[in-house]
Chain A
Amino acid sequence: MENTNDIIHGEEINKPITKSILLFFSHLNEIQKFIFRFFREAFTPPYELKEIIRQCYTMGYLSLGIITLTGFITGIVFTKQSRQPPADFGATSWLPSLVSLALIRALAPLITALIAAGKIGSNIGAELGSMNVTEQIEAMEVSGTNPFNFLVVSRVLAITCTMPILMTYACFVGLMGSYLNINHNEQTSFTTFIHDAFGKITFLDIFASLFKSLLYGFTIGIAGSYLGYNAKQGTVGVGKAANTAVVVSMFLIFIEEILIVQVVNSMR
């Protein structure tokens, strides 16, 4: 009797697990198809240049405020918190290079990507999700327009192109924040600060950061678009798409960061 119960119990547990695993792989397959479709349509005319520029403005220019705020504060706080260890050895002159290395190699790409995942990724998920559940995407399709090209390709290209610019800008304002703090404490001149800050930066650092930003932008764009474009269950689905877009983007960004750091470090 005990054995029978175990078997029945075992089946009850296993069924949902099997279903979840199958669902996971089915999603992976759909995402892979979605990405292939993106590349196919991105290189097929007609090109929606006007829409790409409009999206760059919405995603890039309208994100400058929050990037300025977070970048600047990060620069100040990171410099302030990092001062004590070098100060113990009388080596505060190392601070500009320490901060710039941290900002360019890791902080600026990561902070920009996380802000973009929250602000832009959720926006893409919610916008496409609501267009889907209100039949606007179907309306585009039946009017002889390719909604994937107009909605997905334009958004993914826009965020992929915008992210390196936003990251560079975040670096700049972060360094300005850092300079403010260093100048206040050590009375270092701007020229000396810039000279020290960029003394240790290599081409590989800049290239890796720009590449990371492109990849993060692409990840956020694809995650938001995929989830929004396939949103179901009405307004609940829209909320779910926006929320999941942020969570999935952030998760993938951290995974990519770990992998890229390993590769770049092996190249140094």
Chain B
Amino acid sequence: MSTDIPYTNTKEAVIAIKNLYKSFDENKVLNGIDLELHKGENVVVLGRSGSGKSVLIKIIAGLLKPDKGIVSVFQEQIDLLNFKELQKLRLRMGFSFQSGALYDGMNVRENLEFPLVRNQRKLGRKQVNDAVEQVLHDVGLLQTINQLPSELSGGQKKRIGIARTLILKPEIMFYDEPTGGIDPITCVEINNLINKVQQQYNTSSIIITHDLTCAKTTVDRIAILSEGKITKNGSFDEVFESEDPNAKAFYNYNFIAKK
């Protein structure tokens, strides 16, 4: 297994992870992760199922506690923050869940209003409506505004999930398997949406995936996660032209990206 390749970027690091460890009982999931995300950058974390990709972003978002190591977001160490400080910091992050995680009992409008009215209580009805319609327009799903999550397709749920995070205008986006379980055409739409979000909202993003097409379309930099470590870190070409066995395995088995 190759060792970490130091990656240098002159831009400000919005996320810095040093020597991160996480286990669940006997199962060591993260085994000394070092990673940085710089301002305006899209980093794809590529790894097999169960390699700890989702655990990594859940630790960054403060949903899980690390066993050891330092995770800093905007120069604030996540595990040292109290609940209120963490909630305040979370407003600067957006988290798009694998399933969309839309609230079943609420329609699309209420789903999008939910974080907005709770975090900006002084907003008037018209401002809330305008904000909801704006983000729905940005993800191209304005027509679904009164539909329930159960009436939406998998791809639509993911896009509404992204819209719900965009309504708070985050500076960092986490995408957990954005193209998992959806058809190739919708995958392309989601990949384009991720790029659009980066440009329009000026976000820095960590994209968790095992889909090379998604990685190739959205990436500024790739980090390969295997056996709890980042085994390769660099641009798409650097990573896939290297001799790293994990990168080679991904490339060889992904027919579409190879083509």
Measured CB to CB, the residues of A under 8 A from B are 46, 130-131, 134-136, 138-146, 150
Contact = CB atoms under 8 A, between A and B. Distances in A.
A22 B91 CA distance: 39
A145 B97 contact: no
A140 B97 CA distance: 11
Contacts of B93: 142
Contacts of B87: 144, 146
A143 B99 contact: no
A228 B27 CA distance: 25
Nearest to B120: A144
Contacts of A142: 61-63, 90, 93-95
A46 B119 CA distance: 10
Interface in B206-240: none
Interface in B109-129: 114-115, 118-119, 121
B121 A139 contact: no
B88 A144 contact: yes
Given A46-B121, A135-B97, A138-B63, A145 B103 contact: no
Interface residues of B, number: 28
A130 B149 CA distance: 14
Contacts of B115: 143-145
A3 to B, nearest CB: 33
A139 B91 contact: no
Given A138-B63, A139-B95, A145 B101 contact: no
B204 interface: no
Contact of A135 (B62, B101, B164): B101
Interface of B: 58, 61-63, 83, 87-88, 90-91, 93-95, 97-99, 101-104, 114-115, 118-119, 121, 161, 164-165, 168
A145 B118 contact: yes
Contacts of A138: 58, 63, 95, 97, 101
A136 B102 CA distance: 6
B171 to A, nearest CB: 13
Contacts of B119: 143-145
B90 A143 contact: yes
Contact of A144 (B63, B98, B102, B118): B118
A210 B64 CA distance: 42
- List the 4 closest pairs (A to B, CB-CB), nearest first: A143-B115, A139-B101, A142-B95, A135-B101
Contacts of A135: 97-99, 101
Given A46-B118, A46-B121, A136-B103, A143 B97 contact: no
Contacts of A146: 83, 87
A17 B103 CA distance: 40
15 contacts: A46-B121, A131-B103, A135-B98, A136-B101, A136-B103, A138-B101, A139-B97, A139-B164, A140-B114, A142-B62, A142-B90, A143-B168, A144-B115, A145-B114, A146-B83
A134 B103 CA distance: 9
A138 B59 CA distance: 12
Nearest to A58: B105
Contacts of B114: 140, 143, 145
B163 to A, nearest CB: 12
Nearest to A50: B117
Given A138-B101, A139-B95, 7 more contacts: A46-B121, A134-B104, A135-B99, A139-B102, A141-B63, A143-B95, A144-B168
Contacts of B88: 144
Contact of B99 (A134, A140, A141, A150): A134
B78 to A, nearest CB: 12
Contacts of A130: 104
Contacts of B94: 142
Contacts of B58: 138
A145 B114 CA distance: 9
A141 B165 CA distance: 12
Contacts of A46: 118, 121
Contacts of B97: 135, 138-139
Contacts of A150: 118
Contacts of B83: 146
